[in-house]
Chains A and B, each alone.
Chain A
Amino acid sequence: MGSSYVPHAAGYVDNGGPKLVTSRFGYEDSHTLARFEATGGYVGLKAALAKRPADVHGEVREATLLGRGGAGFPAGVKWGFCPEGVWPRYLVVNGDESEPGTYKDRLLMERDPHQLIEGSLIACYALGLSQCFLYVRGEMALAQERIATALNEAYAAGYVGREILGSDFSVDIVLHWGAGAYIVGEETALIESLEGNRGMPRLKPPYFPAAIGLYGKPTIVNNVETLANLPWILEHGAAAYRRYGSESSPGTRMFAVSGHVKRPGVYEVEQGVTTFRDLFYGEDFCQGIREGHELKMFIPGGGSAPWFFEEHLDVPLEAADVGAAGSMLGSGAIIVMDDSTDAVKACHRLVRFFARESCGKCSPCREGTGWEEKILQRILDGHGRPSDIDLLLDVGDNISPGPYPVAAHTAEGLEVVPFPPRQTTICPLGPSSVAPIVSTIRRFRHEFEAKITRGDTIPVSAAPVTAGGAGS
């Protein structure tokens, strides 16, 4: 009765590989201070405090720790963008995880909150950040509860707050949570939200809030998983970290594989050395596509990423390779779709997401995503017009002009356009809405046409449809 409720974050699968961030996931009480201290907790912080702050920064730079929030920017380099002599500096932890398909930060917050606190402290020590705000997604009640408990324990034990572990390092960590808005995950929107405003992205430049962020002061925004790697790096050193993964993407990443595989789950995987094929078909991983079905397509990096197909299975899980192949590893969200999937329907669902979540600040995105959704809806409803396919591409071109990043389709003689897309918008949300559209039309144009032919029996309205979204 009701036994489907899962108080521990379920979904994590131990695949027998190295565990840099999931080492405590096997324990029921992994979220408690007692377990944390018994399993090497706060050792990385102590190692950091024994070093000069600049050397801690150096260690992180040398580790080439790539950001896990989506853009994959090296943390050590970003940390260097804080202007000299401007104080105070802040840390904002991005725990807003909402990209379709993404499920890893919630696990890290629910299962090992002290690891995240320790990582945040290490960043603060290295850069002289004098206050840290831990911004958790509003919908994640258990994560909020676990972090609050962990912070209360950590304050009492002297790990957080004034004169940490008897040193002259003092920093407050404030738990803050959101209230439901995907766009708040974008770092400048996150800062607006933390200032008590509507969560709308800020105009760029400056490109990094490290220059001008919270209250106009230098602010480092890092993803939960990025920071969760710091305790390991400080405990074992950058050289040891670089022994995992590949030259350009060292270490591991957490990947959530969802959809039509036999064993969906969250896996900690060495970057670069594992391929999509290993992940989908490996015995230690997803164990293949659902019985009786074959792979049709997959999304390698969350709802915002262009789609991949059968011919991309041997691409390694490595940001540079996936980018060159026309998509992105993004937030470690891999969505697998088998041959039972209606490509137009899946495309429509993602586009509807972007249309709902557009913050409305810039018109190409606000208007464009709405039109994309409407056009796709009428195609699905059997009211599509033959011109709708080109109209969709045209609306997309107004949001992201020029050739849109897309995987190669060797069979059709189409060449790869590498990531990222161009944009007429303030942030990448608008251009992301074009990814499912271009991906599906390029590969499955016939599925759109099939739906539209059926619609031909319905008289086309007298109002002419012109490019750019007029008429309806």
Chain B
Amino acid sequence: MTFFNSDNERLAREVISRYPRARSAAIPLLHLAQEQEGWVTPAAMVQIAELTGSTPAEVLGTASFYEMFKFHPVGKYVVNVCTNVSCQLLGGEELLEHAEASLGVRAGGTSQDGLFTLEDVECVAACTEAPCFTVNYRYFHRATTGSFDEVVADIRAGRSPIHHGAAGDDGELPEHGTLGRVRQHIPDDRRAGVEAPEDVVGAPLWLAADRAGEG
């Protein structure tokens, strides 16, 4: 069954080759599927099962444990407002209420134009910069209702809300599904190499040599 386009299928095989067991690539491949389609489709899970030597039910079993995987289409922009305690203390809940009113959806819902999905989320590790929200997992710190509206207005107008791009961050806001945009690539001539755990006998070279020296 083919779900991945040819580039992504090649990438999927490269990712799998980094792990001693293919199944370890399940979560990375689910992310890749979500990057291609915006959500995790049944066809994606069938192909991931084939690629990782498991069943589609096992892939769904794994995937459904994790909040970031969506099993139905969501907005192009997933807006996460943190309401955990550090943010709550400084207005996180009020920010969420404002977001609901401003986007016209309840937390958990998607706006009618399919642009935004709003979520009420747990701590996103920006607690000193409360209250905060993220859009497609890009952070907006020390938010106000005003700054929230500016970000939404920018997105609606087709402008990136990220004006202060730094090195490694080119100022683009990718659509939902894309996380880190730089991919790890291990050149063949630099690879230490991956072995199945059951095939490994003895200590690695640098340790074995050291121990031989001891005796």
Contacts and interface: CB of A to CB of B under 8 A. Distances in A.
A binds B: yes
Interface of A: 1-8, 10-11, 28-29, 31-32, 52-54, 87-88, 97-103, 105-106, 125, 128, 130-131, 137-149, 151-152, 155-156, 158, 160-162, 167-172, 174-182, 193-200, 215-217, 256-260, 264-266, 299, 303, 333, 335, 337, 341, 345-346, 349-350, 353, 356-357, 359
Given A5-B139, A10-B141, A137-B125, A161 B191 contact: yes
Contacts of A178: 27, 66
Nearest to B48: A196
B54 A196 contact: yes
Nearest to A32: B167
Contact of B27 (A152, A196, A359): A196
Contacts of A1: 150, 154, 163
Nearest to A97: B125
Most chain A beta-carbon contacts within 10 A, residue among B167, B193, B210? B167
A156 B186 CA distance: 9
B88 interface: yes
10 contacts: A3-B163, A87-B204, A103-B127, A105-B125, A130-B195, A130-B200, A138-B137, A196-B27, A341-B89, A345-B88
A180 B25 CA distance: 16
Contacts, number: 291
B202 interface: yes
B167 to A, nearest CB: 6
Contacts of B85: 100-101, 259, 299, 303, 335, 346, 349-350, 353
A161 B186 contact: yes
A175 B206 contact: no
A196 B127 contact: no
Main secondary structure of the interface of B (DSSP, over half): loop
A334 to B, nearest CB: 10
Contacts of B18: 172, 174
Given A1-B163, A5-B164, A139-B134, 7 more contacts: A7-B162, A149-B182, A152-B184, A152-B185, A155-B187, A162-B193, A195-B24
A31 B162 contact: no
Contacts of A172: 18, 186, 191-194
B142 interface: yes
Interface string B154-187: 1000000111111111000000001111111111
Contacts of A144: 179-180
A183 B165 CA distance: 32
A100 B141 contact: no
B210 A196 contact: no
Given A53-B210, A182-B122, A101 B127 contact: yes
A346 B88 contact: yes
A138 B69 CA distance: 10
Interface of B: 18-21, 23-28, 30-31, 52, 54, 61-63, 65-69, 80, 83-86, 88-90, 122-130, 134, 136-144, 147, 150-151, 154, 161-169, 178-187, 189-195, 197, 200-207, 209-210
B181 to A, nearest CB: 6
Contact of B197 (A11, A53, A215, A357): A215
A265 B128 contact: yes
Contacts of A260: 89-90
Most chain B beta-carbon contacts within 10 A, residue among A6, A196, A266? A196
Nearest to A128: B207
Most chain A beta-carbon contacts within 10 A, residue among B61, B128, B161, B191? B128
Contacts of A99: 123
Contacts of B197: 88, 215-217
A53 B163 CA distance: 47
A2 B86 CA distance: 22
Contacts of A11: 126, 128-129, 141
Contacts of A345: 88
B58 to A, nearest CB: 8
B95 to A, nearest CB: 12
A181 B65 contact: yes
A7 B127 contact: no
A148 B141 contact: no
B206 A6 contact: no
Contact of A335 (B127, B162, B205): B127
Given A2-B150, A98-B123, A139-B134, A179 B184 contact: no
Contacts of B129: 6, 10-11, 103, 264
Contact of A198 (B61, B183, B202): B61
Given A106-B125, A179-B27, A199 B66 contact: yes
A155 B185 CA distance: 9
Given A177-B180, A217-B197, A87 B203 contact: yes
Given A87-B201, A101-B127, A103-B125, A148 B207 contact: no
A226 B165 CA distance: 30
Contact of A197 (B62, B183, B187, B206): B62
Contacts of B65: 181, 198-200, 359
A196 B66 CA distance: 12
Contacts of B67: 179-181
Nearest to B173: A5
A170 B195 CA distance: 13
A444 to B, nearest CB: 15
Most chain A beta-carbon contacts within 10 A, residue among B18, B19, B205, B206? B206
A182 B52 CA distance: 25
Minimum-distance CB pairs A-B, first 6: A144-B180, A179-B66, A180-B67, A196-B26, A128-B207, A196-B23
B27 A215 contact: no
Contacts of B179: 138, 141, 144, 177
